[in-house]
Homo-oligomer: A and B are copies of this chain.
Amino acid sequence: MSDHRTLDGLIDALRRLPGVGVKSAQRMAFHLLQHDREGARRLAGALTQAVDNVRHCARCHTFTEDEICSTCRDPRRDRSVLCVVETPADQAAMERTGAYKGLYFVLMGKLSPLDGVGPRDIGLDRLFDRIDEADPEVPLREIILATNFTAEGETTAHVIAQALKDRGLQVTRLARGVPIGSELEYVDLGTIAHALVDRR
């Protein structure tokens, strides 16, 4: 129907969001138009502002509005350690722990040979350049591979570790083990086996 073109356009645009099918998109459009037009305007503004202003940090490749992000610029960070994560959300999770004071490199993806995502697609070259261009006054000592413990994340970590083998750097991986607060009964066998091997 011709007078639904704008509404259908909104539903189509919402469907491009990951995890949103036609039913969810209809529900979202209905909710915004019926109950939250202010929220719709705010979302439109936030989208435009983000697309116009958010780019990648020239050093760690995370999202930022500056040439170099605030973490890379922070003089209090330990420049001798570099933590490699898949996404800005993973970086934020590391930051929330308050336990890490080094720098980051954000891959913005992970290797996924089955989906045709190779080293070039996630810019591993940029990571190696970043490592080779480290601050001459504070040499890079350790690379912590904090990719996820999924098949793709493990593959990514493995490929990076192999490529860094001859650079004389310490390459470590986050410890695998039983999550804090969990009962052994409900933890999967692979995790318990790893926690047993890596016991301390």
Q: Is the CB of A33 within 8 A of B50?
A: yes
Q: Which of B2, B12, B31 contacts A17 (CB 8 A)?
A: B31
Q: Provided the pairs A3-B70, A7-B88 are in contact, do residues A40 and B32 lie with their beta carbons within 8 angstroms?
A: no
Q: Which residue numbers of A lie inside 8 Å of B, CB to CB?
A: 1-7, 9-10, 12-14, 16-19, 24, 26-34, 36-37, 39-51, 53-54, 63-66, 69-71, 87-89, 108-109
Q: Provided the pairs A2-B70, A4-B63, A46-B10 are in contact, do residues A16 and B34 lie with their beta carbons within 8 angstroms?
A: no
For this chain, the copies found in one complex come to: 2
Q: Give chain B residues whose Cβ lies under 8 Å from the Cβ of A66.
A: 3
**In whole angstroms, how far apart are the Cα atoms of A33 and B7 in the complex?**
24
**In whole angstroms, how far apart are the Cα atoms of A50 and B4 in the complex?**
10
Q: Is the CB of B51 within 8 A of A47?
A: no
Q: Give min CB distance, A69 to chain B, whole Å.
A: 6
Interface CB pairs A-B, < 8 A, 27: A2-B70, A3-B65, A3-B70, A5-B65, A6-B53, A7-B88, A10-B49, A13-B39, A13-B45, A13-B47, A14-B17, A16-B42, A16-B43, A17-B28, A17-B32, A18-B28, A18-B31, A19-B27, A29-B50, A32-B51, A33-B51, A33-B54, A37-B51, A41-B48, A44-B47, A44-B51, A47-B47
